[in-house]
Structure 1
Amino acid sequence: MTQTSTDLPSGAAGETFRQTLGRLASAQKGAARSAPAYSRFVNRRIGRVLAAWAYRRGLSPNAVTGISALCTFSAVALLALVAPSTLVGVVVSVLLVLGYAFDSADGQVARLTGTGSAAGEWLDHMVDATKIVTLPIALGIGMYRFDVVEDDLWLLVPLLHVVAGSVYFFGMILTEQMRRAAGVVSTAATGGRAPWLRSVLGIPTDYGTTCLVFVLLGVPTVFLVGYAAIVAATVVVALAAAVSWYGQLRRLASAAGAA
């Protein structure tokens, strides 16, 4: 069925889907030089298409966040409740990819419509915080329930992911809030030499990489090696970031004391 202009939001009346995409592109935040490759080059573009679709159907940013949560937590439930297989792995991966893309789309819709709010940002962060914890927990539960591994030590890998992922996320949010309280507004570096290099180096800790590794779920040995590599990289990055953040806050405190 062809949608008439009266079904569209006022800003979309009379414009094509391609034109909506163009307006979204002009409303984008600058792509951070350090943003991992999948998030920067793939997820944001998929999210833009989904944002155009959501906008033309009059969905609010919070509704888009809700769709993201539905996709993500459906994948989480599958990991805990259904025996691992190639099909399950593909479905889980697709759901996680869609959830991540809609997570990008909600902010794009908010910027396009000028309807961003503190409450919407809070909701988005709460969904992120929940998925960071529940995804590896669900994986561990599924591994235990369906005897995926012979050595139970492998069950410690998703538990380590819970700790590293949640600490890294909390540290990032807390540091940003404390920097804002000190009057420092973070800006993403969008230039510099070889900006693609940092994006490529960030692939192991990219959430998109985590989404895609579940395609290997039907081959447990290969999956666990890939997943363990992601967790190890997350631990290293979380530790390095914690040292950097602590140093930044000490310097801010020193500068404030000197002033």
Structure 2
Amino acid sequence: MLALFKGDYATNEPDYRTSSVVYITLAICSSTSMARRKKKTTRLSAPTNTARPSRLWHTFQWFSVTGFLVAAFTVTYQHFFGNISLEFVRSLARGYEFQLKNDTPSDRLVKMFRVEPPTNQEVLYKTTQSIYAEVTETGRIILPSSNISYVPAAEFKELDGQRLPANSSSKFRIPPLSSNSWMEPEAAIVDIRYEIEPTNSLLLALELILNAVGVREAERSERYVVINNYWVASQSEPLREAIRIACRDEGSLAKSSVCAAKR
């Protein structure tokens, strides 16, 4: 309660104009104080992101970095989707019979299949029948139709675009390694390159991922040493070394002239 003095005596009647100013001032101050407390409270109660990555996420990252997920995915893929294999079956009168096996539950497409004898290699050829040859004054022997012979197998493209049904095998013929009917290789190294992909778009996408990370290769290569028309898988570069290993490991070649000469 405010007591205001007027003249020489006092009165208890308030001056309403003065008190209203006081009340307004107090109201403004009180309002400002409450706003500051609200702002301060809001600032203190602001949410902060304190969430940490879960242990499961750390485990997933560790498996990704170590390559375990890729390896597990590859093993699972091979388990459920099988594999494609190439096998030599037998030699023919003019050519060779091979077999492609599709052990997967899905159809496959042969995108490319090539037979490539390595260049600049020593190749041993022999004649399969009696022929007339010309002997020059220098002792050089010239065979009929000259001493040049090309390899018909190198032009083989009949498998390109062929479809391999699921869980099946397909036999096919590869042309001979000599264009002359009276001559065949006694020992030679031959490479076969082929690329096979799924016809299913989802499986094709999975294989492309594996190829991109280097787990699988889109193009496969098989090396063979051909001795007396018998094809033996080999990893050797020099022909002589390939012959030595093939004669050691394959009992069916023990009686061949090439292996007999190595003893």
TM-score normalised per structure 2: 0.26
> Higher strand fraction: Structure 1 or Structure 2?
2
Greater RCO (Cα-Cα under 8 Å, separation 6 or more): 1
> Higher helix fraction: Structure 1 or Structure 2?
1
Task: Pick the structure with greater CA Rg.
Answer: 2
